[in-house]
Amino acid sequence: MIIRIGFDIELTVQSPTTLIHLLNVHSSRENDLVFPANVRITPNLQQQIYRDAFANICTRITIPAGVNRVRLWDDNMVLDRGELETWNPQARQLDVHELPASALQFLLASRYCEVDSELMQFAWDRFGSIRSGAERVNAVCDFVHQHLRFEYSTARATRTAREAFNERVGVCRDFAHLAITLCRCLNIPARYVTSHLADIGVPKDPSPGDFAACMEVYLEGGWYTRDPRHNARRIGRIPLAKGRDAGDVPITMVFGQHRLEKFHVVAEEVAHVETNFSLA
């Protein structure tokens, strides 16, 4: 299967500043790109590409005096197996002493995921009697999917998992943050993922294109992707970045006053490799 991915983002800035973006495909899928990775920037500015502690490919861009508008854009294609996301309904939950050291940080509280007494008590009261492992993760996803109402107009960059729990509304990042937090309360490592997600095998979403948030949980066998917003395994998810929560994986972070002028994202299955498509 061939999946076309792309974006076109424009920002205006008021003074010289620095921008960091995590718009490259995650290192785990680099080898599946049809064309070499090449996030482009207009005008041509100084860039530094590096990998962070989560193996995300990050780019730091210096925006000098005299430049007040920056465009980031890319169009590429990814080879994909065209299979549903891997899931083992029998996977057991590992005791904390069995977990690899690299997974331990994903049990802790983070900026948007408050692993505290309020949600901890709720998690054990609600899910403690359910068999640990895959069955318990499924129950968490079922709960979050039903508890929150998805509504773009309610998006708020500062909303935490506890606030989403109490407000019962949010966007995909809020679904992910609440499910991550409940899993961590239950001693299941969980991390946040941003991705391209095409509508493959499901009805086409009429909403404008956007990046999609989900989570990964660590059970016997490794990391598994779970999507509490859609509450279904999907085909063709292409991860961009992974971290403790959305604070670790900003699509763009500008260290100065700025305004988003354009935001256009594409993810779709195509029949063959194209070389001249446009994001317009």
Same domain as 229, residue 152: yes
Q: Structural domain of residue 33, as residue ranges?
A: 2-82+250-270
- The domain that contains 52 carries what CATH number? 2.60.40.2250
pLDDT at residue 279, rounded to an integer: 56
Same domain as 180, residue 123: yes
- The percentage of residues in the chain with a pLDDT greater than 90, rounded to a whole number, is 90
| Number of compact structural domains in the chain | 2
pLDDT digits (tens, 9 = 90+) for 63-77: 999 999 999 999 999
- The domain that contains 111 carries what CATH number? 3.10.620.30
Structure tokens at 93: 């939950």
Query: Over 90: is that where the pLDDT of 280 sits?
Result: no
Same domain as 176, residue 73: no
Is residue 196 a part of any domain in this protein?
Answer: yes
Same domain as 49, residue 165: no
pLDDT at residue 117, rounded to an integer: 79
pLDDT digits (tens, 9 = 90+) for 93-119: 999 999 999 999 999 999 999 998 789
Same domain as 150, residue 42: no
Q: What is the mean pLDDT of residues 32-58?
A: 94
Same domain as 131, residue 214: yes
Same domain as 77, residue 28: yes
pLDDT digits (tens, 9 = 90+) for 178-205: 999 999 999 999 999 999 999 999 999 8
* pTM, 2 dp: 0.94
Is residue 146 a part of any domain in this protein?
Answer: yes
Same domain as 205, residue 136: yes
Q: What is the mean pLDDT of residues 201-222?
A: 94
Is residue 71 a part of any domain in this protein?
Answer: yes
Contacts of 33 (CB under 8 A, 6+ apart): 25, 76, 77, 78, 79
pLDDT at residue 274, rounded to an integer: 73
Same domain as 178, residue 119: yes
pLDDT digits (tens, 9 = 90+) for 135-179: 999 999 999 999 999 999 999 999 999 999 999 999 999 999 999
Give the C-alpha separation, 245 to 198, whole Å: 22
Is residue 138 a part of any domain in this protein?
Answer: yes
Is residue 87 a part of any domain in this protein?
Answer: no
Same domain as 135, residue 46: no
Q: What is the mean pLDDT of residues 16-33?
A: 95
Same domain as 128, residue 218: yes
Which of 261, 255, 211, 212 lies closest to 60 in space, CA to CA?
A: 255
Same domain as 183, residue 120: yes
Helices 172-185 and 117-127 pack at an angle, to 10 degrees, of 80
Average model confidence (pLDDT) for the chain? 95
Is residue 276 a part of any domain in this protein?
Answer: no
